[in-house]
Amino acid sequence: MVNIMKNEITQKIEALTNSLEKPDLKQTEALIAETLKYFEYIREKLQSPDEEDRKAALEEIQEVQKKLEELAQKALKIAGINPEQMAKFIGNPNNFSPDDWSKIKHIQENISSSEQKNTRIKP
């Protein structure tokens, strides 16, 4: 199950990476939603009593995290900006339509919720 989910996420990251020249907010939103579901599944696996399950889950999430970091770096390079500039741009509602701003806020809330859950994981 983990491998299937990881492969799907990896394929979507690669597809999004290949389409960075013409970004699609819906595609990005879908990737983020699926990634959060994947991370939630991994979080549960990391709490497994089986050490092999925990080790496999950790390796999987590290691989997906690396792909996501590569995607972010490529997006920043294409945009010609640094992470701070991107954060400032994304944090300004004037840069988006009301519908897109609502989606961005929803994504941020989902990420924040996921981060809070993941900080409760005990090794």
Name the average pLDDT for the chain: 78
Predicted local confidence at residue 113, as pLDDT: 72
CA neighbor of 27 nearest in space, from 66, 63, 60, 71: 71
At 122, the pLDDT band (50, 70, 90 cuts) reads very low
The per-residue pLDDT for range 17-73, each reduced to its tens digit, is 766 667 666 777 777 777 778 878 888 888 889 888 888 888 888 888 888 888 888
Domain positions in the chain: 2-119
Q: Please give the Cα distance from 17 to 12 (Å, whole number).
A: 8
pLDDT of res. 48: 86
- Residues 17, 11: Cα–Cα separation, whole Å: 10
Tell me the mean pLDDT in the region 74-80: 83
Burial 85-120 (b: 16+ CB within 10 A, else e): eeeeeeeeeeebeeeeeebbeebeebeeebeeeeee
